[in-house]
Structure 1
Amino acid sequence: MTWSLTKLSKQIWFSHLRVTLAPQSTLFGYQFAGSMLHGALINALNVVDPKLCQTLLTAQDGSHPRAYFFIAPYLPKGEVIAQQPLSFEIKLFGHACEYLGAVVQSLFELQAIGLGNNRVPFSITHIELGSQGRWLTLFQRGQNDLLCPPQTTLADQLYTPFTCLAKKWHVRVETRSPLALTRSKNTLNSAPNLADLLFFIGNRLRALCDHFHSVDFSVMALLPKIEQQPSSPNTHFFVQKRHPDLAEKNHDLRGITGSWCYAIDASLIPWLQLGAALQVGKRANYGQGAYLLSWGILSE
């Protein structure tokens, strides 16, 4: 059988939730609040189903991917004032999608528990499901019904940005959380070339498939071979010290932040969208490696 990224993606269940909430008092934390959200999600899911929490969210070897991962809320200047909307995203890969109902239930338990060291209370205003570049509202505060989310696959994260037959595209990559990228033991501290980014995307998919979705071929063999340096880079290497009183650098959050661009063939669009969905690099389990894509068409 001739395999393609699209065929593989159609076989893999994938759910992408966006949760928007309104804190009832000022919430303090790190700018990239992955550790705060991780602890809160563990507490909430443990209330709903301790065994499921153990399966999806407990401590593991950092090299072991999780089928439940997230994009943490961003706290400008380390705080969000009362009633200011705050969003985070949860992603379920493969068999974890079977527990989508329990995960949604845990969000309402989280609402009762609160966020941060001070257990700041909040109200959930929206829960949405991402598919084909759009968001389907599952819950909205003030409405009684919680919609049953449809089943979606990884293929639902891959789509043509515009309805056209353009062969050449201009894509802008903008980080949502620091990208911790290391290849051949070398840490990247600026925008990656296209071949490296594709490698990290393929490696992330391979690792998830190895643990949560058996395939009978090499995922890395699907990777397109292309070399291209990024254009218009505007990046810096970000360091967020989680424990300022400790000398151990492994506690720090590190990675590339900012934006850069590539000129690509249409065939590469799904690969970059795949990376946006799965997140890339180290500590993706804890919210790192997330980025947004924006598109333009290049004239022939």
Structure 2
Amino acid sequence: MLGTLLTLTQHFPVLRLRFTLQLQAQAQLPDFKGSMFHGWVGQAIKQHDEKLFYILCAEHEGGQPKPYAIKLTDEHQQQWQKGELLSFDLMLFGEAVHLSQRVIDALSEGVRLGIGEYTSQGRSPVKLLSVASVLPGRILPGVVTTVLQDWINTELTDGQCELALHLKAPLRLKHKGAISADFLPELYELNRHICRRLSQLTKFWVADEPTLLNALYTAQPRLGEYQAQHHCYFENWQRFSLKQRAKQPFGGLKGMLSFYGDIAPAKPWLQIGQVLSVGGKTTFGLGHYELIG
């Protein structure tokens, strides 16, 4: 069953671009900057390349996921000085990696929009200093595409093992059709969400092959007995939606999920989730975690 996963990850392109901006004046920016970067990226692409905006950012029918995700650093700083550097990562998946130069061109032009909230002087001015590619274990200048298999370790270990997820951004998983502050996912539930995320991205952006997609679900790991510890809290954020003209709930689980036992087959799946991000609002930077183990 692992063979199906290996075959897919060998043909699943991944590009992780790191954009580094320099503030050109003092600025006050939000604590969590995912919504800010989501809005800036969308606006920059829309103004520069309408066709690209339709491909990457528009809502499509049939459950088609957007082929990108935003990942943020741990920087929660709100008061910024002129000259300070601010970075974020933009992940492109599947066929979307071939659009990378158009994305870079759009964001290069988009710096004239500034970032952050509007003030009487407009938004905070910024300069794009660099675009680099984040690879497993190193960062290189320019555009360097990988495949999903480069990010996972398929060598399974025997016996007991310990795995933990450090939730770097809120994790929004639905339980019984709704986001619940009391829902703490078990490992098999995390695997199911990761499998669904991988399957949907594969169907629309890599290869719409029903046989492969069906085999992917049957390839989910079989887990033995394990113990779970949850050190989590619900971070209840809100963001202002221009479409709804109102504040929308934007929270999720933060903290750490730990598992110990006969769970080694889950490791490559959790590594995939680490790359793709999991749950809702991944284009806003949510669902990002670091795997320990």
TM range (shorter): 0.7 to 0.9
Tell me which amino acid in the other structure corresponds to 2:202.
C
Cα distance per residue 1:99-143 (max 9 Å; x no partner): 111122223223333212242122334433233x223221xxxxx
Give RMSD over aligned pairs: 3.1
Where 1:31 maps in the other structure, the secondary structure is coil
Q: Distance in 1 between matches of 2:283 and 2:83?
A: 28
- Of residues 178-187 and 58-67 in structure 1, the stretch that sits farther from structure 2 once superposed is 58-67
Q: Map residues 222-241 of structure 1 onto 2, 5 A cutoff.
A: 222-226=219-223, 228-231=226-229, 233-241=230-238
Q: Which residue of 1 aligns with 2:292?
A: 294
Q: Report what 2:44 is aligned to.
A: 44
| Between structures 1 and 2, the one with greater strand share | 2
Equivalent AA in structure 1 for residue 153 of structure 2: Y
Distance 1:26 1:5, change over 3 A: farther
1:53 and 1:168, CA in 2 relative to 1: closer, same or farther beyond 3 A?
Answer: same
SS at match of 2:239: coil
CA distance in 2, matches of 1:164, 1:254: 34
CA distance in 1, matches of 2:226, 2:158: 20
1-structure distance, mates of 2:106, 2:158: 43
Question: Which sections of structure 1, spanning at least 5 residues, go unmatched?
Answer: 139-146, 296-300
- Deviation of the 1:2 alpha carbon: 8.1
Is structure 2 residue 145 aligned with structure 1 residue 151?
yes
CA pair 111-243 structure 1, distance change in 2 beyond 3 A: closer
Alpha-carbon distance in 2 for matches of 1:274, 1:18: 19
Q: Does 1:116 align with 2:119?
A: no
1:33–1:73 CA contact under 8 A, matched in 2 = no
Kindly indicate whether the alpha-carbon contact (under 8 Å) linking 1:192 and 1:229 is maintained by their aligned counterparts in 2.
no
Give percent identity, aligned residues only.
25
Q: Aligned with 1:230: secondary structure?
A: strand
State the partner residue of 1:199.
192
DSSP 3-state at the match of 2:18: strand
The one of 178, 190, 195 equivalent to 2:170 is 178
Q: Does residue 58 of structure 2 align to residue 55 of structure 1?
A: no
* Pair 109,134 (structure 1): closer, same or farther in 2 beyond 3 Å: farther
Match of 2:279 in 1: 281
**Cα gap change, 1:136/1:159 in structure 2, threshold over 3 Å: closer, same or farther?**
farther
Cα distance, 1:27 vs. partner?
3.6
User: Counterpart of 2:265 in structure 1: which amino acid?
Assistant: S
Q: Which of 266, 269, 272 matches 1:268?
A: 266
Please say which of residues 87-96 and 47-56 is displaced more in the overlay: 47-56
Q: Quick one: which amino acid aligns to residue 207 of structure 1?
A: Q
Equivalent residue number for residue 127 of structure 1 = 131
Aligned twin of 2:92: 92
Q: What is the CA–CA distance in structure 1 between the aligned matches of 2:69 and 2:156, rounded to whole Å?
A: 33
Query: With structure 2 as the length reference, what TM-score do the two structures score?
Result: 0.82
Q: Unpaired segments of 5 or more residues in structure 2?
A: none
**CA separation in 2, counterparts of 1:62 and 1:237?**
30
Partner Cα distance (1:283, 1:134) in 2: 27
1:193-213 CA deviation, whole Å, 9 max, x = no partner? 111111111111112122222
Shift of 1:62: 11
Q: Post-superposition shift, 1:237? A: 0.6
Q: CA deviation at 1:270?
A: 1.4
> What amino acid maps onto 1:83 in structure 2?
G
The answer on 1:251 being equivalent to 2:248 is yes
In the TM superposition, residue 276 of structure 1 has moved relative to its aligned partner by: 0.8
Aligned length: 280
User: Residue type of the partner of 1:51?
Assistant: K
Q: Following the alignment from structure 2 to structure 1, what is the Cα–Cα distance between the partners of residues 280 and 238?
A: 16
Is 2:222–2:265's contact at 8 Å kept on the other side of the alignment? no
Report the counterpart of residue 142 of structure 1 in structure 2. Answer: none
CA contact (8 A) 2:191 2:266 kept: no
Note if contact 1:33-1:74 (Cα within 8 Å) is conserved in structure 2. no
CA deviation map 1:218-249 (0-9, x unaligned): 12221113264432x321111112249xx999
